[in-house]
């Protein structure tokens, strides 16, 4: 994976990511990067990931800069590993960084007894859908369709359908 090591995310990493959010999330599809989406994504970057879920929140750094991250958590009672946020900085995309972060998360999740990996995105996010299905091998749940892809209705609130990816951790 480019030889770059994976580390646990710190508070300083989270601050840097929040400051540079557009470089991680804004470039793939400019039309998607509305003020509302920016606010929603910013809100998702909770300090919980570095305070409470630091064991399953990872970053890749190059030259003291965060270039990729995956924030997740484990639900032990359901043996579920939930990948909440994954993003790669512009200039570092399509080099296998996100896949490497998933490998690290899946390895820790298996060690923690998890049998299912889950992730969620919006139906407009074609790169995320391509990445999770083709590269990670996850399947999309849900029987309804939005923008031509299966979604779970009202997953994120009334009228807020989401693409829900799953994969068995063997």
Q: Which residues bind ligand COA (CB under 6 A)?
A: 24-25, 28, 85-88, 93-99, 121, 125, 127-128, 130-131, 134-135
Q: How far is the CB of 15 from ligand COA (least distance, A)?
A: 18
Q: How far is the CB of 142 from ligand COA (least distance, A)?
A: 16
Q: How far is residue 158 from each of residues 14, 67, 161, measured CA to CA in Å? A: 29, 34, 8
Distance (Å, rounded) from C-alpha 120 to C-alpha 77?
20
Distance (Å, rounded) from C-alpha 120 to C-alpha 155?
9
Q: Which value, to the nearest 10 degrees, does the dihedral of the CA atoms of residues 92, 98, 99, 103 take?
A: 130
Which C-beta is closer to ligand COA: that of 38 or that of 95? 95
Which C-beta is closer to ligand COA: that of 48 or that of 113? 48
Place of tokens 């090591």: 5
Which C-beta is closer to ligand COA: that of 96 or that of 150? 96
Which C-beta is closer to ligand COA: that of 4 or that of 169? 4
Which C-beta is closer to ligand COA: that of 30 or that of 77? 30
Q: How far is the CB of 107 from ligand COA (least distance, A)?
A: 16
Q: Which value, to the nearest 10 degrees, does the dihedral of the CA atoms of residues 129, 55, 105, 18 take?
A: 30
Q: How far is the CB of 45 from ligand COA (least distance, A)?
A: 11
Q: Please give the radius of gyration of the chain, using alpha carbons only, rounded to the nearest integer.
A: 15
Q: How far is the CB of 75 from ligand COA (least distance, A)?
A: 18
Distance (Å, rounded) from C-alpha 45 to C-alpha 130?
23
């Amino acid at each position: 994976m480019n030889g770059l090591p994976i580390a646990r995310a710190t508070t300083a990493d989270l601050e840097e990511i929040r400051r540079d959010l557009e470089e991680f999330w804004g470039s793939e599809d400019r039309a998607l990067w509305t003020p509302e989406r920016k606010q929603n994504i910013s809100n998702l970057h909770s300090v919980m990931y570095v305070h409470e879920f630091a064991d399953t929140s990872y970053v890749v750094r190059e030259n003291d800069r965060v270039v990729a991250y995956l924030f997740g958590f484990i639900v032990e009672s359901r043996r579920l590993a939930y990948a909440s946020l994954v993003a790669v900085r512009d200039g570092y995309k399509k080099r296998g960084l996100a896949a490497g972060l998933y490998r690290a998360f899946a390895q820790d999740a298996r060690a923690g007894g998890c049998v299912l990996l889950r992730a969620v995105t919006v139906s407009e996010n074609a790169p995320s859908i391509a990445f999770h299905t083709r590269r990670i091998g996850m399947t999309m749940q849900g029987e309804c369709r939005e923008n031509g892809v299966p979604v779970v209705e009202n997953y994120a609130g009334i009228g807020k359908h989401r693409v829900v990816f799953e994969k068995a951790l063997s």
